Structures are given as structure tokens and as C-alpha cells.
Amino acid sequence: MPLVAIVGRPNVGKSTIFNRLTESRAAITHDESGVTRDRVYGNAIWNGVDFDVVDTGGYVEASTDRFEQAVKEQVEIAVDEADLVLFVVDVRAGVTDLDDRVAALLRSSSKPVVVMANKADNEKLRWDASEFYSFGLGEVFPVSATNGTGTGELLDDITRQLPTEGASVAKSSGPRIAVIGRPNVGKSSLVNALLGVDRTIVTEVSGTTRDSIDTVMKYHGREITLVDTAGLRRKARVRENIEFYSVLRTERAIRECDVAILLIDATDGLEAQDIRVLKEAERLRKGLLIGMNKWDLVDKETNTARDVERAIHDRLQTLDYVPVVFISALTKQRTHKLVDRALEIVDERSKRVPTSKLNDTMLAAVERSYPPTHRNRFVRIKYVSQVSVGPPVFAFFCNYPDGIRESYRRYLENQIRDSFGFEGVPLSIVFRKK
């Protein structure tokens, strides 16, 4: 989905227009890495065009000394990350010095920019908006974020300039593998190790569009696309900026991939945020794999791979079907094994179990352990079928679908895994009335 970033100095009305654009659309409300996202990240739709909106202004603390730097940084990152920048200014205040500096930054970027002259609540103020043509950023849209005047024209222009669907996704028929993880776990290093070149340099040459971080590579004759969330890096001074965009990128990469490789820094171990990311990928039914990176730094005498893997699976609980590969992006130890495993998961995810085999195995498993009774009635499972591949979905036909408990669903899932594999693949199990 395309991303629109709202920039501008404080008090021009960024959060007001943000709320208007995303109103009645579910904003993401969970809180990650200390960044309150409901305030700043949401989804908008206009004329059938869906896009994400981010209000980057949330991070600008109004302490005067760092103020300018913060606004500048906010703009630079927005230019790197977004597909379009919505530059908000205040028609009542007119052009300020800071507005001019922001405009200069935006002029030197290749990203589409839409200028919104806010607080144009009446006809006279709408006329005053023409002052902002001095930015040299093209058409100026007078808007009143509070009463909604002018938002239609603004949105028409925004959606017209957004890349069309699929444009930011590299054209390749092969599987898409996302490399995700917290900052500094080694995502760039891994991608560079796999490509055999320092791709960050390549990216800088090829421009700043987000699609350039998708890398198509040939691997043992098979074409794969690496969806890299490390992306373009700025020496951001505001830590929240880095964290926020890293969370945002991760989410997008997961949505666009077949398999997500979650990299973990072995010297830090698994953190709560990692588990949240895995759960998100599971919810989206993507293949999952953990790369335990920087294994070269770990003392193997006291930490054997087997013990570490067991500890991870204990912590992951129901996600214990996710395989772990111990790697070093630095020494390239097992980095190819990691890709091999990811490709195995791609194949597992699109595997179909023949219906007769599935029924033989699963009805036998039901015989071994019947579902608990439901309101004193026997729950009988009569037939099983894999109704979908990539992601796999299994339907169990029974007399009381609502009478099946979660613990029994788990039992069936484990039985499927024991018999048919599906390592690293979230399984959907549904119960239907026959």
C-alpha cells in the first residue's frame, strides 16, 4: 500500500488533517517499541484508492534548540520512506522561514509533494493561499482541516499522484522472502552477504524509491526476491524516528512476502517485540523462519545451539513450529542454509496433502483421542479436507463445529504436523458442519 507522509512545522494542523483523512478507518492501535502509533499511523481510502498515512510531526518536541533539526530530520526521513509527501502550512501565519527551508528540502527530492494551505476556513483565506506558490512546489491546495473544505480536491490530487497498485513490488514470479528484525540485528549484512555485494551503496546510486530495496536474485537457478526492511538509512538523531519506520517497514514487508525470516542478534536473544512480529506474520499466514545471527560472537561452550533452540521454542509456545538456523552474516556461516530453509518453507506452504491420506491419518488420530463432549453430546468428526494451499487451510467436517475446543484444535494441528511436516508454516484449521 502506498504511504503518504504528512510534514510541516508544529501547529499547522498536521494531526487534524491526519485525523480527517483516516477518520472511521481503523487506525493501528497497538503500541510497539514505545511508539504510540494510533496517533500517527492510519489508513485512508479515497475514490477506491487505499493508502497509509503517517503523521511524522508527532516526534517533534517543541524545545526550541532542537526544533529545527527535528523538523528537518522528519522531512528527510519522510522523503526517503514515503511515496508522497503532504506538506502542510498555515495560511493564517503565511510563509515562515522554517516553511521555506522545508520547501527547499522537498524541492531537491524526487518524491511527489502536495502543498496543503491549511486553516483556509473562509473565502478570503482561500485566496491568501496563493502566497505559497512561492515554494515552487506546484499547485497549492487551500484546505480547512477543521471544517473539511477543500479536502476533496486535495485527496483527488494525492490519489492521482500515488503509484498504482503493484508498482512498488518488484516484478518477479518467484517467492518473496522478507528479512525482518529489530535495528542492528544484521539485516543489511545478511542481504549483502547473500548478494555478494554491498547493496547499500548500490541503492544510494539508484535513487531513493522504496521499490529499490526489493532485490531479485538467482539462487540455484531459482529466482527469489529479497524484501529488505533495512532499507535506506539516515543517521536519524531522533531514536523514535528510526524505530517507528522500522516497525512500519516490517509490517509492510510481512504483508508482501511469502516467508519472513526474523533475524535475531544472538547476543541479545529473543525480545518481546520479536514475538509480536512473529505473531503478526502468523496472523497473516506467512511462512516463518528465525535466523539467529551473530552466532560467531557466542561462546558455544556455554550456549549450545540445541539448548538455545529449545529455550526459544519454550518461549514461543504455540509458535514452536518455527525453525531456527544459527548463522553469521559476518563470516557467512550457514547463510545459504538459511535461504535453503526459507525455500523449503515456501514449498511446504504450497503443499497439498492428498485427501485420502489426510483422512486415513487424521481420522485415526481422532479415534485415538476423541474430541471432548459438547453439552453432553458427542462431537464427531467425519471427514477432513485441505481446502486451500499457500496458505494451507484444513476443514474438519463435524456435527457440532462450535463444540470443538481450542485444546483439541491444537491436538489436530500437532497431528497434522507430525504426519505431514509443514515446518515453519502457520496452519489454519476450521470446523464446518457437514
Least CB distance from residue 353 to ligand GDP, whole Å? 37
The stretch among 6-14, 27-35, 307-315, 413-421 that binds ligand GDP (CB under 6 A) is 6-14
| Cell digits of residue 350 | 504450497
Residue type, 74: Q
Q: Interface with ligand GDP includes 20 (CB under 6 A)?
A: no
Q: Interface with ligand GDP includes 308 (CB under 6 A)?
A: no
Between 147 and 318, name the residue whose CB sits nearer to ligand GDP. 147
Q: Interface with ligand GDP includes 403 (CB under 6 A)?
A: no
DSSP letters for 144-196: -TTT-TTHHHHHHHHHHHSPPTTTTS---SS-EEEEE-STTSSHHHHHHHHHT
CA 29 from centroid of its chain's CA atoms: 15
CA distance 233 to 351: 38
Q: Is 192 left (phi over 0), alpha (psi -120 to 50) or beta?
A: alpha
Query: What x-and-dash track marks residues 42-81 binding ligand GDP by CB under 6 A?
Result: ---------------x------------------------
Least CB distance from residue 249 to ligand GDP, whole Å? 11
Least CB distance from residue 220 to ligand GDP, whole Å? 23
Strand, coil or helix: 67: helix
Between 212 and 328, name the residue whose CB sits nearer to ligand GDP. 328
Least CB distance from residue 190 to ligand GDP, whole Å? 7
CA distance 392 to 385: 11
| Cell digits of residue 104 | 527547499
- Strand partners for 176: 225
Closest residue by Cα to residue 167 from 214, 200, 203:
214
Eight-class DSSP state of 19: H
Q: Which of 93, 197, 297, 387 binds ligand GDP (CB under 6 A)?
A: 297
The stretch among 159-167, 324-332, 375-383, 384-392 that binds ligand GDP (CB under 6 A) is 324-332
The stretch among 269-277, 293-301, 386-394, 422-430 that binds ligand GDP (CB under 6 A) is 293-301
Q: Interface with ligand GDP includes 273 (CB under 6 A)?
A: no
DSSP letters for 74-121: HHHHHHHH-SEEEEEEETTT---HHHHHHHHHHHTS-S-EEEEEE---
Q: Which of 305, 330, 393, 429 binds ligand GDP (CB under 6 A)?
A: 330
Between 167 and 201, name the residue whose CB sits nearer to ligand GDP. 201
Using CB under 6 A as the binding criterion, the count of chain residues that bind ligand GDP stands at 31
Relative to beta strand 140-142, strand 113-118 is: parallel
Least CB distance from residue 121 to ligand GDP, whole Å? 5
Whether the CB-CB separation of 8 and 113 falls below 8 Å is answered with no
Whether the CB-CB separation of 294 and 333 falls below 8 Å is answered with no
Tell whether omega for the bond before 391 is within 30 degrees of 0, i.e. cis.
Answer: yes
| Cell digits of residue 106 | 522537498
| Cell digits of residue 112 | 511527489
The stretch among 7-15, 158-166, 310-318, 337-345 that binds ligand GDP (CB under 6 A) is 7-15
Between 89 and 412, name the residue whose CB sits nearer to ligand GDP. 89
Q: Which of 11, 134, 304, 355 binds ligand GDP (CB under 6 A)?
A: 11
Which 133-192 positions form the footprint of ligand GDP (CB under 6 A)?
144-146, 181, 183-189
Least CB distance from residue 234 to ligand GDP, whole Å? 12
CA distance 83 to 114: 11
H helix or E strand, kind and range, residue 202: helix 199-206
Which 105-134 positions form the footprint of ligand GDP (CB under 6 A)?
118-119, 121
Least CB distance from residue 266 to ligand GDP, whole Å? 8
> Which residues of this protein are in contact with ligand GDP, per CB under 6 A?
8, 10-16, 57, 118-119, 121, 144-146, 181, 183-189, 230, 293-294, 296-297, 328-330
